[in-house]
Structure 1
Amino acid sequence: MITPTSWRKSSFSGGGEGNDCVEIAPLNARVAIRDSKAPADVTLTFRLGAFIAFVEVLKADTSRTVM
């Protein structure tokens, strides 16, 4: 198992200390995702192409509400 070492927080981090978000880290041809409030818990990984497609859909969805 490969452990990511360079986590980055989402640009949509919540108020306060910015802990209400996800973090991502690159892993060769994959992207790892974890909950910033529980970094020791489960980490999900996705193929890079699938992650890029997912982010593009989120960017295009103007009906979603950002809290």
Structure 2
Amino acid sequence: MSEQDWQKSSFSGSGNDCVEVRSMNGLIELRESDDGDIILCAASADFAEFLYAIRVGELDHHA
């Protein structure tokens, strides 16, 4: 992944209503494609733990 390129899921359509991700300066950054001014940053290990928590359902009670 290029440090300048935002990527979105292949499951996303062609619209601007998805989450985009990129690697920048050793951090993982997330943003909404329709509001790119707000960016969340996380260390790679923390982001991996977050994805794992989603995958195993640890956050389902928030839905």
* TM-score, normalisation: structure 1: 0.67
Q: Indicate yes or no: 2:52 matched with 1:53.
A: no
For 2:43 and 2:11, the matched residues in 1 are separated by 22
Change (3 A) 1:55 1:12: farther
Cα distance between partner residues in 1 of 2:50 and 2:41? 13
- Bigger share in helix: 2
Runs (4+) off by over 6 Å: none
Number of residue equivalences: 58
**1:37 and 2:30 aligned:** no
CA RMSD in angstroms, aligned pairs only: 2.3
The Cα offsets for residues 2-45 of structure 1, whole Å up to 9 and x where unpaired, read as xx5111003442x5x24221100012431011101112x21111
**Structure 2: runs of 5 or more not aligned:** none
Q: Distance in 2 between matches of 1:59 and 1:29?
A: 23
1 or 2, which has the higher strand percentage? 2
How far off is 1:63 after superposition?
A: 8.3
Unaligned runs of 5+ in 1: none
